[in-house]
Structure 1
């Protein structure tokens, strides 16, 4: 295969990975909106849309395998293909987390803890993913470390939010007039909120993974890979 054609294949993989990230981020934003607005139609759009993300993943996985098997890339090209393969895995998992949010919104009838601002933290992790994909696109390694630093802040905020919910649950007074149904609803609300916090935190972790693979791809530096 001519070198020019081979380079076109590599660039096509990059463009397809970026397109997959756009689809995943769209689903993530939609899942968060569904959760905030308790919108069943939005929720099902996210849930039903997971098949598209899975297919994008499988198609790109095959493209990466074909390049490895047929072109025998070396050095920087090999790192690019390997990094792209790992990045689409993280994107697929972010898509799964977006689907979780859609499923949570189908069960949510109220905000049990409106003082816990999930949406604000979610905006931060969305920006992390956007910056990570920008770093991958432009090979802008200066963004990679800042994404990891932001993740430390996200982890702290998610931990504080979870502790606040658990502390309130422990301190909440439940008297003899509280029905079993009310207790069951409260526990369901708490469980769903804690799962939401966990999933948002995991999106941030995947953003760091993408940044780490980008740093390795560009500079052969595995400092952020763990």
Structure 2
């Protein structure tokens, strides 16, 4: 392969990772809308659309392996390929979490814990992923470092939200005539809220992973890698 062809493949790799990132963020935001509105049709779109992301992941993974095995990239290019390989794994996992939210939207009662703003938490998590992908696209090391601090804020918000759910559960008095099935359904809804908060926190963690790999790609700095 000519040097020009090789450079074109590297650029195509970067573009495909960004395309996957944009698609994942779009699906994540759609899952948040589905959860907020209890929109079952949109929820199914997110759940079924996960297969498209899985196929894209496998295509990019194959490109990474080919570049590593056949082209023997030099140090800077090697970091790009290796970072891309890791980043698509985090993006695929964010897509899985979006599918989880879609499944919660099929069953959850959004009024169970009315003072927990899941949509706001989700938007913060989605912004982290979107900004991490942009940092990868533009090789912005400073943005990567700032993103870790923003994830700390998301973690704190998620912790407060979980505590609020537990507090409300303790304070809730179910009607005396409620049967065991009604109690079980209520507890399932509360559990879904807690799972939603947990998954949104995990989305933020994956965004930090993307930023960490990007920072290493740009500056050989592994300080964010855990």
Structure 2 equivalent of residue 94 of structure 1: 94
CA distance in 1, matches of 2:176, 2:123: 41
Give aligned pairs, total: 226
Structure 2 equivalent of residue 139 of structure 1: 139
Superposition map of 1:169-180 within 5 A: 169-174=169-174, 176-180=176-180
Structure 2 equivalent of residue 210 of structure 1: 210
Superposition map of 1:162-173 within 5 A: 162-173=162-173
Structure 2 equivalent of residue 160 of structure 1: 160
Deviation string 1:190-223 (CA, Å, 9 cap, x unpaired) is 1000000011111100000000000000000000
* TM-score normalized by the length of structure 1: 0.97
Indicate the RMSD between aligned Cα atoms, in angstroms: 1.1
Deviation string 1:141-192 (CA, Å, 9 cap, x unpaired) is 1101111000000001100100111122123334643321221121011100
CA distance in 2, matches of 1:22, 1:151: 19
CA distance in 1, matches of 2:110, 2:2: 60
Structure 1 equivalent of residue 47 of structure 2: 47
**Gapped runs of 5+ residues in structure 2?**
none
Structure 1 residue 109: Cα displacement: 3.9
Q: Greater shift after overlay, 164-173 or 146-155?
A: 164-173
**Gapped runs of 5+ residues in structure 1?**
none
CA distance in 2, matches of 1:21, 1:139: 15
CA distance in 2, matches of 1:195, 1:85: 28
User: What secondary structure is seen at the aligned counterpart in 2 of 1:73?
Assistant: coil
In 1, are the aligned partners of 2:113 and 2:165 still within 8 Å (CA)?
yes
* TM-score normalized by the length of structure 2: 0.97
Please list every run of at least 4 consecutive aligned residues from structure 1 whose deviation after the TM superposition is greater than 6 angstroms. Answer: none
CA distance in 2, matches of 1:18, 1:80: 13
Superposition map of 1:20-39 within 5 A: 20-39=20-39
In 1, are the aligned partners of 2:118 and 2:197 still within 8 Å (CA)?
yes
